[in-house]
Amino acid sequence: MRDIEGGPDVEVIGKNRVICGICLTGPELWNPLLSIGLLTLPCVVFHAFVSPWYIEKYGAVGSLVVIFGALLMLTAYVSFASTALSDPGIMKRQKDPKNSYDAITQQWRDRSPPRWQDAQINGRVVRLKFCSTCNIYRPPRCVHCAVCDNCVERFDHHCPWVGNCVGRRNYRSFYMFIFSTSVLCLYVLGISCHKMAVVVQQANDEGENAALKLFGSNADAPLLAAYVFLAIWFVGGLCAYHTFLVGTEQTTYEALKGLYADGNPFHRGLIRNFASVLCRFPRQMYFDPRHPELDEFDEPRSPTEIVPALQAAYPPVEVFAAQPPLRNRGYERSLSQPSGVFAEQNWAPQPGSPVNGAGIGWEEGEGGGGGGGGRRDHRVPGRCAGLFNQLALPLVSPSQALQQRVSLRLCPLLQGRMRHQADLPRLK
């Protein structure tokens, strides 16, 4: 995209487009226009031919029928616009952590953070992946969309019909769109079939050719009925499928991938699932569309936005970050601790610990043994900033780990809802 002042291209929100500094849509412009045309065509036919016939024949009752149909159409249009022109839940990008200066350690970072981290939610392990494009650890259920080139929170799918991703912030309007469109199709189909039945009955009573009268001066009714009959198989089936997803607290991406074959940690019962997805107001955007810009890698953004959002969405949940076992020169490291351990106010090493006081770990470099001159620094930010800073794990010296047991006492996280202590296992 191009920034608001018309300067050089800045990849801050991927391929999404900002309209008038308020609306945000995907890179596809013709697909939403096609969808609007497919929705407008039956509406025009209905109000141009069927509605006048109903009002003329049934008077006030016919007017009520037409007004109700118009309200359904208005609901479909508004929900479509809300889905297509709103932020689906794009995660704000951060600058590349490599070659950036760390003010805490007063050194330059020389490598990217670990590729994977694991979070435990309601007893289930959810794998968090570091996005090398957005330079963030994706929160649970966050996926990078290949079309929009953005990480979207609670990513459901990229809908080509609305030209935008469907995520946490616009899923409710998307569901309202397909639901209202399904009801509208059923309503128009019923009204059209009723008109066809009345026309055929009148033709039979008057001794006229029913088929000639139906497909002659009243051809709008059968054509409209055929159109919405075909449309309802697609829209109605989509609505039924998403109703199932809402009831089971899944997304389209998760259902197609079969991620919860062993149990869904986000499932909280039918009523609470519907209330959580459809009755919750969308959160604020993570960025200002009028002035989009990249965050510095060590800006304290994630702890103030992402973690409270997860805590509010899942109050009884404990979120942990753990690094799977690693093998390095015949030496295994298996570290497990809550997220946020790199906030220096959140932990302090015990006396004799090989981890230095700043909360930064190191390991032996290629040119040295146990001496300090051969140690290679792999420092990462000590400030609790960004998902990387929340989930990054320290590395300890193999030579000293063979002699000592590392034990870190951690302060409470997430306002007391996390565990109060986590010890590193014995390193062998």
Instruction: Please give the Cα distance from 359 to 343 (Å, whole number).
Output: 8
**183 and 122 fall within a common domain:** no
Q: Is the pLDDT of residue 104 over 70?
A: no
| pLDDT above 70: residue 218 | yes
Domain count, the chain: 2
Q: Is residue 74 part of a domain?
A: yes
Instruction: Tell the residue number behind the tokens 């590395």, with chain if given.
Output: 395
Of 217, 243, 278, at which residue does a domain stop?
278
Q: Is 145 a residue of the active site?
A: no
What single DSSP character describes residue 94? B
Same domain, 204 and 70: yes
d(CA 305, CA 177): 29
In a domain, 299, yes or no: no
Same domain for 330 and 424? Answer: yes
Whether 248 and 270 share a structural domain: yes
SS3 at position 374: helix
Asked whether residue 310 carries a pLDDT value surpassing 70, the answer given is: no
Mean pLDDT, all residues of the chain: 69
pLDDT band at 173 (very low <50, low <70, confident <90, very high): very high
How many other CB atoms are found less than 10 A from the CB of residue 99?
Answer: 9
Task: Examine residue 118 and state whether it is found in any structural domain, yes or no.
Answer: yes
H/E element holding 306? helix 302-313
pLDDT tens by residue, 240-297: 999 999 999 999 999 998 888 878 888 889 999 999 888 888 888 877 777 666 655 5
C-alpha to C-alpha distance for 164 and 83, rounded to whole angstroms: 7
In a domain, 138, yes or no: no
- Shared domain check, 214 and 180: yes
Q: Where are the alpha helices (DSSP H) in 264-343?
A: 270-278, 302-313
Assess whether pLDDT exceeds 90 at residue 71: yes
Of the residues 134, 142, 159, 384, which is catalytic? 159
Which contiguous run of DSSP H or E holds residue 53?
helix 51-58
Query: Which has more confidence, 368 or 179?
Result: 179
pTM above the 0.75 mark? no
Long-range contacts: 34-41, Cβ < 8 Å, 24+? 34/161, 35/80, 35/161, 35/162, 36/80, 38/231, 39/76, 39/77, 39/80, 39/181, 41/227
Give me the percent of the chain exceeding a pLDDT of 90: 31
For the chain, the farthest-separated pair of C-alpha atoms sits apart, in whole angstroms, at: 107
pLDDT at 244: 95
Q: What percent of the chain has pLDDT over 70?
A: 61
Domain match, 400 and 265 both: no
How many CB atoms are located within 10 Å of the residue 108 CB?
12
Asked if residue 150 is part of any domain, the answer here is no
Same domain assignment for residues 345 and 310: yes
Last residue of a domain, one of 260, 278, 296: 278
How confident is the model over 121-131, as pLDDT tens digits? 667 677 788 88
Do residues 40 and 79 both lie within one domain?
Answer: yes
Last residue of some domain: 243, 278, 313?
278
Where does residue 401 rank: exposed (0-12), middle (13-18), buried (19+ CB within 10 A)? buried
In a domain, 420, yes or no: yes
Distance from C-alpha of 35 to C-alpha of 161, rounded to nearest angstrom: 6
312 and 406 belong to one structural domain:
yes
For residues 357 and 249, state if they share a domain. no
Q: Is residue 7 part of a domain?
A: no
Which pLDDT belongs to residue 6?
36
Q: Which residue range is the domain that position 66 belongs to?
A: 17-90+166-278
Would 378 be classed as within a structural domain?
yes
- Please tell me the predicted confidence (pLDDT) of residue 132: 83
Do 218 and 265 belong to one domain? yes
Residues 85, 49 share a domain: yes
